[in-house]
Amino acid sequence: MSKFGKDAKRWLPGALVSLILIGIILYFVDFRRMGAALREANYLILLLALPMSFIWLAVRGIVWRTLLQNRVSYRDVFLTVGEGYLMNNFLPFRLGEIGRALLLSRKSDLQFMEVIPTIVIERSVDLVFSAAILLVSLPFVVSIDGAGSIGITVGAAVLLSLIMLYLLARNRQWAVKTFYKLSQRWHFLQKVGDNFITPFLNGLEILTDGWLFARFLFWMTINWGIAIGSYYLIVRAFFPQAQLFWGFFGLGVAAFGNAIPSLPGAIGTFEGAFGGALTLLTGDQSTALAAALAGRLYNYISSIVVGLIGFAGEGQTLSGIYQQIREFREKLGNS
């Protein structure tokens, strides 16, 4: 199979999901009403919400630096977070996660495979928080039997994954010895262990430090609280009758929407999820889409500003880092 065919098998499902959702949005939304909603929005509230996107990004830097056990300067971590979100907004396959691990490994004495576990933990706990927020808001929104089953299932699966990671972290030496014992007949597998398995397991060490992990959860809670406030303000700018739980519900659904395979930046899935949540609450698809577009714009502004500052300071470009990530992935595949 050609390289294009292999790549297409990866990006085509997400592209189809995005295009289908975009088609549904185009069919149901009245763009004249959406335009009116954008003109009539409360721009004072939107102005108040804007700095919250930067505060959220700043706290996310503290979250990740805590997972990294403060072994990297806050400035480097903060800028790398912005670079990662910038890459996720414009590059396929959520390459921003690989990109920020690669960039941070160049700025510090941490290996790539020591950084990756911190991102896995961060994203896993994000899913737990999004499931919890969705479950908290559902009783205020719908009274359908089993409405929270998806959130419960996802949350339980992620918690189980964290437990498995914790057990690996607690038994790192046993895991390494077992791997080398089972792979002793295959030299290339042992090379993988030297290059990746051991650093990856070392990166899980934070899970064995209760105080450090508690600090991580504290800052993660603050981070999600800021996100709830930001989403509530954006919704309130378009729907004056909005209640606080609308921010909970919109954020929870949008977070799951972002996890669905899609085009870069969750195009279509974010609008479908966030706009769909607001449509369920209000019955107004057009104004709901206007609010979703405002939410997307706010996400773009903070990541673009911080990410471009980081790229400029390092002499990077988006296309350049994309090529570096592709070369790095090929190198990993050949190792």
pLDDT 10s digits, 99-149: 999 999 999 999 888 898 889 888 878 888 888 888 778 777 765 455 556
Task: Look up the domain containing 270 and give its range.
Answer: 31-334
**pLDDT tops 90 at residue 3:** no
Report yes or no on 200 lying in a domain. yes
Backbone torsions φ then ψ of 237, nearest 5 degrees: -65, -25
Report yes or no on 100 lying in a domain. yes
Report yes or no on 15 lying in a domain. no
The pLDDT confidence band at residue 203, using thresholds 50, 70 and 90, is low
Tell me, letter by letter, the H, E, C secondary structure of 129-158.
HHHHHHHHHHHHHCCCCCCCHHHHHHHHHH
Give the chain's length.
335
The pLDDT confidence band at residue 4, using thresholds 50, 70 and 90, is very low
By mean pLDDT, which of 41-45, 60-64, 213-217 is the weakest?
A: 213-217
pLDDT greater at residue 188 or residue 39: 39
* Torsion of Cα atoms, 114 then 204 then 74 then 92, to 10°: 60
Residue bearing tokens 């300071």: 313
The pLDDT confidence band at residue 313, using thresholds 50, 70 and 90, is very high
Report yes or no on 24 lying in a domain. no
Helix 149-170 vs helix 112-141: angle between axes, to the nearest 10 degrees? 150
How many structural domains is the chain composed of?
A: 1
Q: Which residues contact 262 (CB under 8 A, 6 or more apart)?
A: 14, 15, 17, 18, 268, 269
Q: Which residues contact 143 (CB under 8 A, 6 or more apart)?
A: none
pLDDT 10s digits, 226-254: 999 999 999 999 999 999 999 999 998 99
pLDDT 10s digits, 135-193: 778 777 765 455 556 556 656 766 777 778 778 777 877 877 887 777 777 766 666 56
Residue 63: predicted pLDDT:
96
Report yes or no on 143 lying in a domain. yes
Report yes or no on 25 lying in a domain. no
Is the pTM here over 0.75, yes or no?
Answer: yes
Q: Mean pLDDT across the chain, nearest whole number?
A: 85
Report yes or no on 272 lying in a domain. yes
By mean pLDDT, which of 31-40, 177-186, 306-315 is the weakest?
A: 177-186
Residue 247: predicted pLDDT:
92
263 beta partners: 267
Token pair, residue 322, equals 């994309």
Report yes or no on 142 lying in a domain. yes
